[in-house]
A = this chain, B = another copy of it.
């Protein structure tokens, strides 16, 4: 806890009122390596939360690529350079052939903002469908499509909010599509032309809803039938989180636009949007696009290194294997405080419930803080903040998974 009070005071003074910290006792981190983090007192934490350092904290190969590139040239896409083209080619190589172009930004927010601009230009529409507790980013446009930011940040013009799919619910896909069809009917009544369905293909901030794979298809079909496009927000599911490269492929879908960010540079600010060429065409006619740092020589070298590490270390396979082990391990704890438990690769969602089966945010908070005390970092999410969010870097091994399961068992025992 060295200097924690002082740091919190300085934060409030310097950064102002919009910043938040995690945990009742915030963590003061000073070092990271692989799936481990250390605080200023030398205490070690197993990182079961951060999806950004997807190949592990401070991966030496990624740091080496960053160092080499930053020492050679750091400049932008208005000069020719191969790096941005090689990265675009590799990214497209991981996607269905229908996706033909990539544009680079620095953040997932910028990628989603761009995708909405592109969707509007492609369709001539302005209506956007998002889920009830969605989070897609922080620009004014995208904050207006992120109901999880709370009532202080209302939905923007043309934004229609639909019920999120329910983890463990009945007829998940058809019920979700019912909501989407109702929103399309409201757009029609309002004389708003549909532009896009924008969803995180793992519904992370809605509490993580992954099953059954394929459930998104009827909703996407309804949007396309109404003239809108499907934007897969892969900022959370992308880059192997689910044990496959992209979350949309779990649903058997080929999106019109794909956005990606967080894990793309293992912490380095790079993000992107992939597009079907026909969908990008109108935007290209109307607007040039230049993002000063987006696709620069350094960022693209880092992102290439991340893709190489994912492949060379077999991290998709590891995510699938260790994810299944973790899910089985969580379930085997047999806690009466668990409602639905689910996982897709290394993204697990566990609903905490009370004795009546109702969402229990207080219990989730106690588990999150209890694990923090035991040296394990996780988070909570969902509409009631009652779903545990378990999402380690992809190279987690069996020993670390067991460490987590043991700490979780102890925390649950304490919870009673």
Contacts and interface: CB of A to CB of B under 8 A. Distances in A.
Interface of A: 4, 7-8, 10-11, 13-22, 26-32, 37, 50, 52-53, 57-58, 60, 62-63, 66-67, 70-82, 84-85, 88-89, 92, 100-103, 105-110, 113-114, 116-117, 138-141, 143, 149-150, 152-153, 261-262, 266-270, 275, 277, 280-281, 283-296, 298-299
Contacts of A14: 85, 88-89, 92, 101-102
Contacts of A67: 63, 66-67, 70
A88 to B, nearest CB: 4
3 closest A-B pairs by CB? A17-B284, A152-B286, A74-B267
B287 A143 contact: yes
A100 B30 CA distance: 26
B26 A79 contact: yes
Contact of A81 (B28, B150, B275): B28
B285 A152 contact: yes
A128 to B, nearest CB: 11
Given A22-B79, A140-B139, A267-B293, A284 B107 contact: no
Contacts of A8: 80
Nearest to A302: B70
Copies of this subunit: 2
A412 B270 CA distance: 41
Given A20-B288, A63-B70, A150-B287, 6 more contacts: A11-B80, A13-B100, A26-B79, A60-B71, A107-B291, A139-B139
Nearest to A74: B267
Contact of A72 (B21, B58, B293): B58
A interface majority secondary structure: mixed
B73 A32 contact: yes
A290 B15 CA distance: 12
Contact of A20 (B63, B108, B150, B290): B290
Give the most central of A84, A110, A275, A277: most B CB within 10 Å. A110
B11 A85 contact: yes
A80 B284 contact: no
B53 A74 contact: yes
Given A66-B67, A143-B117, A18 B103 contact: yes
Contacts of A7: 80, 82, 85
Given A58-B73, A266-B74, A292-B108, A287 B79 contact: no
5 contacts: A15-B88, A15-B101, A30-B73, A66-B66, A107-B292
A337 B89 CA distance: 45
Nearest to A107: B106
Contacts of A289: 18-19, 138
A76 to B, nearest CB: 7
A202 to B, nearest CB: 16
A198 to B, nearest CB: 13
B149 A288 contact: yes
A17 B107 contact: no
B15 A102 contact: yes
Contacts of A74: 32, 52-53, 57-58, 266-268
Contacts of A110: 106-107, 109-110, 138-139
Nearest to A80: B28
B287 A4 contact: no
A136 to B, nearest CB: 12
Given A139-B113, A139-B140, A280-B17, A72 B32 contact: yes
A283 B78 CA distance: 36
A283 B29 CA distance: 28
A32 B63 contact: no
B293 A269 contact: yes
A288 B288 CA distance: 32
Contacts of A31: 72-73
